[in-house]
Chains A and B, each alone.
Chain A
Amino acid sequence: MCGIAGLISHQREKETGERIKKAMVLQNDRGNGLGAGYAAYGIYPVYRDHYAFQVMAETSFALNAVSELLHNNFWVAHTEEIAVWDKVITDHPLFMRYFVQPKIREKESNPDDFVMEKVMHINTSIDGAFVCSSGKNMGVFKGVGTPKDIYEFFRLDEYHGYCWIGHNRFPTNTPGWWGGAHPFNLLGFSIVHNGEISSYGINKRYLEANGYICTLLTDTEVVAYLLDLLIRRHGLSIMDAVTVLAPPYWSTAKRYSDPKQRDKMIGMKVIYEPAMLNGPFAILAGFDGGLFSITDNTKLRPMTVGTTSEYTYFASEVSALYEMEQDFTQVVTPRAGQPVIVKYHTNAKGD
């Protein structure tokens, strides 16, 4: 059991994390204090074109190693300690933020691929260091503690973003540790997840064959990497990627009356069989263009959605929706396997 909440302003109106915190605190009992985290989009307008590496390190030695690696491979525009209030949590790793651009010639390599490769490299080869997030104009803040502790520890009332997601963890299969808290991020994708991914064994092997390395001891990690593979590297639309992760049953796909639609669905199911997610899950995923949720085909984990003309809200529990907004135009519970995709308005503000 875990708790999830998210909100997105269609017009990219910014706000602090106050409302997402309230939704998460209400769902406090969905976790056990062993992990909570937030992701915020639109928080670094000054460096919006730079990759924001938010790095967690257990020792200053590890942090130095990361620093050196980043300086060797990137133009580092700005470095700063991630401000924390350590009265809330005294025993914590070190946090550092780097705004960087890859030192590559454009034709040589895709900058996103370069960043992904360096993230994998840091996570696997620098002992005690992990990249919490590596996207542009966004950041992930996570650790061991309750949603309230983590919110206060990272001083999230000082950040202003137009899309926020939160997570509250009740770890069951893997240890509760700072790197294992949600959200999981790669480039623009940030994932929070309630549930357990029974297909993890094959998802992990599939990703490893595609150059990803699963290091964080948690099944949710694969979702971030799968989205990166499907959307960024294979060029699938968000809708197709979501369909690949939680596809319709064969019995449904084969009943499609339009043969083109049917064959496209069968083709995607066949090609991406090892990417399909199985097991109980409700997932909320932030990306550069918006926010979406998916649930498993049997709907073994909860997800509710509330909308107004300006905002869309997601939460595990309906009551949490009302912590963020009182006056909804509608509150719906998506059907099993039904995705909800929200994109920013085309005329929304630039950052």
Chain B
Amino acid sequence: MSISKLGLQSTFRPTFDLELCDGCGQCASECTFNEIKMVPHGDSQIPVANRRSCGACHRCEIMCPRGAIKIIEDPFVTRPHGIWTPHHINRTHLQASTGSVALTGFGAETNVPVWWDRMLFNACQVTNPSIDPQREPMETITYLGRKPVSFREVDDPSALVNRLIPVNIPVLFAPMSYGSINLNLQKAMARVAKKLGLLWYTGEGGLHKDLYPFTDWAILQVASGRFGVSPDYLKMGRAYQIKIGQGAKPGIGGHLPGEKVLEGISETRMIPLHSDAISPAPQHDIYSIEDLRLLIYAIKEASGYKPVCVKIAAVHNVAAIASGIVSAGADMVYLDGFRGGTGAAPNIVRDNVGIPIEIALAVVDQRLREEGIRSQASIVAAGGIRNSADIMKAIALGADAVAVGTAVLIACGCHGCQRCSSGKCPWGLTTNDPELSGRLDVDWAEDRITNLIKAWHHEIQEIMGLNGIYDIGSFRGNRLLLRGVDLDEKELSLLGIKYAGE
């Protein structure tokens, strides 16, 4: 250690069982952060940890052919203090060393309550029978888009049905751009969306030509950088999404450094090789709701009136903003809560800006209903959805569908080391380094994501069945199916649910 290393202490490290280790060196080649080095030892060599850069990604541990590695916690101990924890001391040292904004990836890690965990489902007992999903139909088909208030307004039902977007399970793959993740992962998601009848979002990085066969299941994004947006792009998608904000970093833009703008990305984003790809914080043609309306209708005109979705970060005034977005003509509102993931964001923004999706979703759904415009737009909830229970709680609060990003990464190997912005993702997910992205086999990733969605689908059907509900439509917005625990009156009223026992 030297004084220049202040703030760089790792709190994990790999340990090696030298009795099992045969010195093959696989671990050293797997580690992309140079935590492990092979050193000569007698006739052979053994791995040694430098104890400075382990992020607990578990790549070495899982890939070790001998099972000789275990990642352990290696706390950097400071004198116990309620405010100045090792985390804050380390952070201060780090910034004093570098003078820069501390970047991170993944989703917020603060101890703000997770309201999902404070809501519990009802179940049938005696007076209404539960339904066994193994024996009875249990349907999760959902149609997304703008719906009329009354069937009387429908002159041509076929035109209505064709305008809407059906999904077999209301779980979508959240926008993650080509650039923030690599093409292999996008391909895997696109294949699963096509196979299972779901939707995937492109994110703001444009649409690589290899993905053209999957556009019927794709929502293509138009973000502040306008990457990859062309007349053809505006004809190809099933729907379009205008990205205003992101839950992990509301109010700020993005920056893909030039060294990451490699050939495929340069072509897809339609920018010169190795030029910085900068997404400005606001869309510079949207400074007001009227401007948003113009862009919504510009995209509708250009695309032949395909549905347009607007993605916003959940912020304080989210209900009024969402109401404005629906009035401005959006067919879907995508709400991204503050726990949503990111490829790169200032740590301080990720952990301190925005509001949680549970509350945002509840107030938006209620507000749109009160204004009589709920049917005009579907609500997609995202940002910290971890499992099928979270999904169904979101549906019960009023979401038409949820979107998951982090869970997809985890399904493909991610262990949450939060170093997505480094470009060194050891699992080959959030990197476009040709060698590292080769670590992600598309077929394998497709299987993993398929399995995850299928497992969730079974669980969703169980949750519906044990509530005696055979169609997810009767679960949607049905807040009587939820009860709160450890919540105060204000939280209950914002969530629109009763307390356990009521």
Interface residues of A in 197-255 (CB under 8 A from B): 198-202, 204-206, 208-210, 233-236, 240, 249-251
Instruction: Kindly list chain A residues whose C-beta atoms are within 8 Å of the C-beta of B141.
Output: 250
Bitwise, B371-392 to A at CB < 8 A (1) or not (0) is 0101100000000000000000
Q: A201-B481, A209-B369, A300-B129 are in contact. Are A268 and B151 (CB under 8 A)?
A: yes
Bitwise, A263-275 to B at CB < 8 A (1) or not (0) is 1101111111110
Asked if residues B136 and A298 are in contact (CB atoms below 8 Å), the reply is yes
Asked if residues B157 and A266 are in contact (CB atoms below 8 Å), the reply is yes
Contact residues on A (Cβ < 8 Å of other chain), bracket: 35 or more
Task: Give the Cβ gap from A112 to chain B, nearest Cβ, in Å.
Answer: 16
Of the candidate stretches B54-62, B218-226, B443-451, B471-479, the one touching chain A is: B471-479
Of the candidate stretches B25-33, B158-166, B304-312, the one touching chain A is: B158-166
Query: Is B324 an interface position by the 8 A CB rule?
Result: no
Asked if residues B128 and A195 are in contact (CB atoms below 8 Å), the reply is yes
Query: Is A279 an interface position by the 8 A CB rule?
Result: yes
Interface size on B, residues (CB 8 A): 43
Task: Give the Cβ gap from A311 to chain B, nearest Cβ, in Å.
Answer: 32
Asked if residues B161 and A274 are in contact (CB atoms below 8 Å), the reply is no
Which applies to chain B's interface (DSSP): helix, strand, loop or mixed? loop
Task: Give the Cβ gap from A260 to chain B, nearest Cβ, in Å.
Answer: 7
Asked if residues B157 and A264 are in contact (CB atoms below 8 Å), the reply is yes
Which applies to chain A's interface (DSSP): helix, strand, loop or mixed? helix
Instruction: Kindly list chain B residues whose C-beta atoms are within 8 Å of the C-beta of A274.
Output: 473, 476-477
Q: A202-B476, A249-B139, A250-B139 are in contact. Are A297 and B470 (CB under 8 A)?
A: yes
Say which residue of A249, A263, A273 sits within 8 Å of B476 (CB atoms): A273
Say which residue of B147, B372, B396, B467 sits within 8 Å of A271 (CB atoms): B147
Instruction: Kindly list chain A residues whose C-beta atoms are within 8 Å of the C-beta of B164.
Output: 270
Asked if residues A263 and B474 are in contact (CB atoms below 8 Å), the reply is no
Instruction: Kindly list chain B residues whose C-beta atoms are within 8 Å of the C-beta of A297.
Output: 137, 470
Asked if residues A249 and B129 are in contact (CB atoms below 8 Å), the reply is no
Task: Give the Cβ gap from B332 to chain A, nearest Cβ, in Å.
Answer: 14
Q: A209-B370, A234-B152, A267-B151 are in contact. Are A276 and B128 (CB under 8 A)?
A: no
- Of chain B, the residue at the smallest CB distance from A211 is B372
- Of chain B, the residue at the smallest CB distance from A198 is B468
Say which residue of B129, B149, B151, B479 sits within 8 Å of A201 (CB atoms): B479
Task: Give the Cβ gap from B479 to chain A, nearest Cβ, in Å.
Answer: 5
Query: Is B112 an interface position by the 8 A CB rule?
Result: no
Instruction: Kindly list chain B residues whose C-beta atoms are within 8 Å of the C-beta of A266.
Output: 143, 157, 161
Interface residues of A in 139-153 (CB under 8 A from B): none
Asked if residues B157 and A278 are in contact (CB atoms below 8 Å), the reply is no
Say which residue of A271, A276, A279 sits within 8 Å of B375 (CB atoms): A271
Say which residue of A173, A271, A298 sits within 8 Å of B148 (CB atoms): A271
- Of chain B, the residue at the smallest CB distance from A173 is B127
Say which residue of B129, B375, B475, B476 sits within 8 Å of A280 (CB atoms): B129
Interface, chain A (partner B; CB < 8 A): 172-173, 195-196, 198-202, 204-206, 208-210, 233-236, 240, 249-251, 259-260, 263-264, 266-274, 276-280, 297-298, 300
With A173-B127, A205-B479, A249-B471 known, 20 other A-B pairs at CB within 8 A are A198-B124, A198-B474, A199-B474, A200-B480, A201-B396, A201-B477, A201-B481, A205-B369, A236-B152, A251-B137, A264-B157, A267-B151, A267-B154, A267-B161, A270-B143, A270-B147, A270-B164, A279-B469, A280-B468, A298-B470
